Amino acid sequence: MKVTREADYATQTIYHLSNMDSDQQASTKSIADTRDIPISFLAKIIKKLAIAGLINTARGSRGGVSLARQPSEISILDVVEAIDGPVMLHDCDADPEDCTFREDCSLHHFWCETQGLLVDRMRNATFDKFGPGG
């Protein structure tokens, strides 16, 4: 599994917002400039993050972007899944009932266990655990 560039930029965006005061908003341009993200690409990412309920957006001269929840309530998994959909390491994890070898395959159990470990790690990595400067 490789995290897409879009999901990586999305995590950078949430990280940026999580290091601001909760009453502050950031402009899309300031995020793009600070995080070196193409602004047109960032606009698409912000739309997806807003649809997922991770950020709030406001238009106009006093507009901007802010977190919709506290950093402790947003995980890496939330962000990656908002952009890329469910995290899957292997096809047999997507629908175990479709795995032809699930009963007799030690690899099936390995992939499912590894999938669970990765998802748990990403779920427990909330943005309050990442300090400023990254």
Residue-by-residue pLDDT tens, the chain, 134 positions: 788 999 999 999 999 999 998 889 999 999 999 999 999 999 999 999 999 999 999 987 777 999 999 999 999 999 999 999 998 887 776 666 666 666 677 787 888 889 899 999 999 999 999 877 55
pLDDT computed for residue 75 by the predictor = 98
Closest CA relative to residue 92, chosen from 67, 110, 68, 65: 110
* CATH of region 5-129, choose from 3.20.20.70, 1.10.10.10, 3.40.50.150, 1.10.490.10: 1.10.10.10
What is the domain partition of the chain in residue ranges?
Answer: 5-129
Pairing relationship of beta strands 64-67 and 55-58 according to DSSP bridges = antiparallel
- CB burial of 51-74 (b: ≥16 within 10 Å; e: otherwise) equals ebebbeeeeeeeebbbbbeebeeb
